[in-house]
Amino acid sequence: MADAEEIQDAARFHVEVAHHSEPFFLKGCNHLDWGIKNRLANIFDPTSGRTVMLAFDHGYFQGPTRGLERIDLDIVPLTRYADTLMLTRGILRTSIPPSYTRGIVLRASGGPSILKELSNEQIAISIEEAIRLNAAAMAVQVFIGGEYESQSIHNLTRLVDAGNRYGIATLAVTAVGRELTRDARYIRLATRICAELGATYVKTYYVPGFETVTAACPVPIVIAGGKKQPEMDALRMAYNAVQQGASGVDMGRNIFQADNPAAMIQAVRKVVHDNATPQEAFDLLQQLKG
């Protein structure tokens, strides 16, 4: 019980100072409730407004991809450099220490393996399970133009409804089938549809004309790393993306398949958080490797 005697009169009301209410730092997110904003602030760095997501959920349809054979040995040491981890619940439970305190982005759709039609995904997690695992966001693949386009959109909207109910963000991941042209026109279409249908943020591919993609999308966009490229090319892509409005990267193979993944993720951070040029980041990479 607080002591009820000798209570002093409250006096510090600062009546001349208007009440301060800070706008939230992420595009299109000001209307969200406190809990979802707090989770987003554990995915995106509030200082730079950007994120380096370390993506290693590839096993959900590819099995043990190169670089992901041993999550405990190869990925766990990298987690200290990531703003957030994108992974499946199986890997989270078995391999990631619960002392990890940054945001968790859970893979929330799945079904077909690489041996089947990939767009035929279903929701692969319940909202209770996402809450139990303390997820900051749930990631769902959306196949605009794909054979199962409507089904994947339905997966997105169901997860948005469930996530909004409990304050968990939904990341829409635009997947581009081989038959589709990966250009700004298509990426604008896919990202805008995801935002219109309620995604909290969107992941897509970097393409020339990317500034029109970010301009037309009212929520934050992060870029996927895509297949392994020479380090300088990956750093240049990350640089161009953030300079053209991306709120960060969700990078997997270009980090965990690099010859020195710990050095590469630190170089990527330099580009994303410090606006370093690709050359400055590459110099850091060489220095860290040395």
Radius of gyration of the chain (CA): 20
- How far CA 213 is from CA of 79, 129, 149, 193, 290, in Å, comes to 30, 33, 20, 12, 38
The one catalytic residue among 37, 116, 203, 227 = 203
Residue 225 within binding range of ligand R5P, rule CB under 6 A: yes
Closest residue to ligand R5P, Cβ-based?
Answer: 225
Q: Is 177 in the site for ligand R5P (CB under 6 A)?
A: no
Residue 58 interacts with ligand R5P (CB under 6 A): yes or no? yes
- The Cα–Cα gap between 89 and 146 comes to 26
Rounded least distance, CB 176 to ligand R5P, Å: 11
Task: Give the separation between CA 87 and CA 100, rounded to whole angstroms.
Answer: 13
Among 78, 207, 251, 284, binds ligand R5P (CB under 6 A): 251
Of 10-18, 42-50, 53-61, 108-116: span binding ligand R5P (CB under 6 A): 53-61
Question: x/- string (CB under 6 A) for ligand R5P, residues 135-174?
Answer: --------------------------------------x-
Question: Which residue from 103, 111, 220, 252 is in contact with ligand R5P, where contact means CB under 6 A?
Answer: 252
CB of 34 to ligand R5P, least distance (A): 28
Q: Which of 226, 240, 245, 277 binds ligand R5P (CB under 6 A)?
A: 226
Among 50, 89, 253, 269, binds ligand R5P (CB under 6 A): 253
Nearer to ligand R5P, 32 or 135 (CB): 135
User: Should residue 105 be labelled a site residue for ligand R5P when binding is judged by CB under 6 A?
Assistant: no
Judged by CB under 6 A, how many residues of this single chain contact ligand R5P? 13
Examine the residue annotation and report whether 289 is marked as an active-site residue of this protein.
no
Q: Nearer Cβ to ligand R5P, position 103 or 252? A: 252
In the 3-class helix/strand/coil scheme, how is the chain assigned residue by residue?
Answer: CCCCCCCCCCCCCCCCCCCCCCCCCCCCCCCCCHHHHHHHCCCCECCCCEEEEEECCCHHHHCCCCCCCCHHHHHHHHHHHCCEEEECHHHHHHHCCCCCCCEEEEECEECCCCCCCCCCCEECCCHHHHHHCCCCEEEEEECCCCCCHHHHHHHHHHHHHHHHHHCCEEEEEECCCCCCCCCHHHHHHHHHHHHHCCCCEEEECCCCCHHHHHHHCCCCEEEECCCCCCHHHHHHHHHHHHHCCCCEEEECHHHHCCCCHHHHHHHHHHHHHHCCCHHHHHHHHHHHHC
In the complex, least distance from residue 3 CB atom to ligand R5P, rounded to whole angstroms: 55
Among the residue ranges 88-96, 117-125, 220-228, 272-280, the one whose residues contact ligand R5P (CB under 6 A): 220-228
- Least separation, in Å, of the C-beta of 178 and ligand R5P? 15
List of residues contacting ligand R5P (CB under 6 A): 55, 57-58, 86, 173, 224-226, 250-254
Active site (catalytic) residues: 203
